[in-house]
Amino acid sequence: MVWKKIKLGEEANSEILFAGSESESGSDASNLEIHFEEEEEERYQQQQQQASAEIETQAATSGGLLTWGQPQGRNTNIHSFAGPAKGVKKCEAPHINKDGSPLSVLLFFTEMFHLLVEQTNVYYHQLLDRHPGPSRRLPDITLLDMMTFIALALQMGHEWKETLHDYWSRHRQLHNPFYGQTMIGDKFLHILTFLRFADISQRPDEGEEYDRLWKLRTVFDKLNEAYTKFYNPSDHLAVDEVVVKFKGRVIFMQYILKKRKCFVIKIYKLCDESGYTSDMRVYLGTDSHSATYDMTATHATVRHLSSKVEGLGHKVFMDNCFSSPRLYDDL
């Protein structure tokens, strides 16, 4: 048996051995295996010696032996909580208490009701202007009409029927006088048809700064303002994502195969320990625009959500989807 060695190149770290005969016995194969094991053992010892030499060099330059300790160059101080006490702000929401009704909470979102009334009437008049001719002009929607519409929509969630017309049906097996006495069915359908949150004639140009949520941007901004205005969160906060089932057609809808809800809209939230939402941000599929060389998209999301509580000593918890050493240094 003649053993030959072939180098893989000048930069190669190993060699290949092959037999010069066409067949080899069991003992030859065993010798070949032993030869490879010896080479691996020799290479491992060389690596260990090289690592030990590097450690000794670092210890010599630092003036002593290496020891475990606090990371150098990082701010490891834990700041004490300096924010206001958790709970409802009595000065902003004096009527909200444990004995209050859900209506007392909705009354603090009257700005959104006014927005719905305004944009719904604007859209109705725009339709009439586009289709001039003899038609029966309906009166404008009032604030009371809009609040009644929202109340009926919430009630319909507790009493499911096949169609909307069934709620105003006079059949004995379907008749419920509550809906007909509260609002006429035609007015409810009129509001539902022209319900809008933004003026569609003010659609922004589709450029790099195009907001895919422009039709609902005002609503989300007002909600986030109300979250902060009426409630003080606890000192422990958490950043996480929630998914909302959605069957419509929007470009930022997500498809998550392993989720029970496959087609969803993803929302990033900042919540306190009781589950109260302090801030939220819809994922629009364009978070990469906020990423820079020193900041990832998730890093930017956490910084955006925690900007309103910055400097108050809150403890922010998150999973490994958001965490990074640069983010911890930044916070």
Beta bridge partners of 17: 5
Identity of the amino acid at 152:
L
CA distance 187 to 183: 7
Determine if the pTM surpasses 0.85.
no
**Listed residue (196, 240, 227) closest to 214, CA to CA:** 196
Quickly state the pLDDT bin for 15 (edges 50, 70, 90). very low
- C-alpha to C-alpha distances, 92 to 99, 105, 137, 175, 218, nearest whole angstrom: 17, 12, 40, 42, 21
Count CB atoms within 10 A of the CB of residue 240.
14
The pLDDT of residue 18 is 43
Tokens found for residue 273:
């320990």
Pairing of strands 236-245, 315-317: parallel
**pLDDT value of residue 75:** 63
* pLDDT in the model for residue 11: 43
Of 54-63, 82-91, 280-289, minimum mean pLDDT range: 54-63
Q: What per-residue confidence (pLDDT) applies to 45? A: 78
Distance CA 286, CA 252 (A): 9
Please tell me the predicted confidence (pLDDT) of residue 247. 86
- CA 223, CA 109: separation in Å to the nearest integer? 8
pLDDT digits (tens, 9 = 90+) for 145-188: 999 999 899 899 888 888 999 999 988 888 889 999 999 999 99
Least confident of 61-75, 94-108, 288-302: 61-75
Q: How many CA atoms lie within 13 A of 226 on its CB side?
A: 15
Which pLDDT value is given to residue 268? 93
pLDDT interval class at 116 (50, 70, 90): very high
Task: Of 231, 227, 228, 222, give the one whose Cα is nearest residue 113.
Answer: 222
**Which residue do the tokens 């630092």 mark?**
62
CA-to-CA dists, residue 217 to 10, 113, 183, 197, angstroms: 63, 15, 29, 9
pLDDT of residue 53 exceeding 50, the answer is: yes
Q: From the CB of residue 110, how many other CB atoms can be counted at a distance below 10 Å?
A: 11
Highest mean pLDDT among 48-57, 89-98, 117-126, 240-249: 117-126
Question: Is residue 301 classed exposed, middle or buried when 0-12, 13-18 and 19+ CB atoms within 10 A define those classes?
Answer: buried
Residue 326 above 70 pLDDT? yes
Nearest to 149 by CA among 83, 195, 87: 195
Alpha helices by DSSP H, 258-315: 297-305
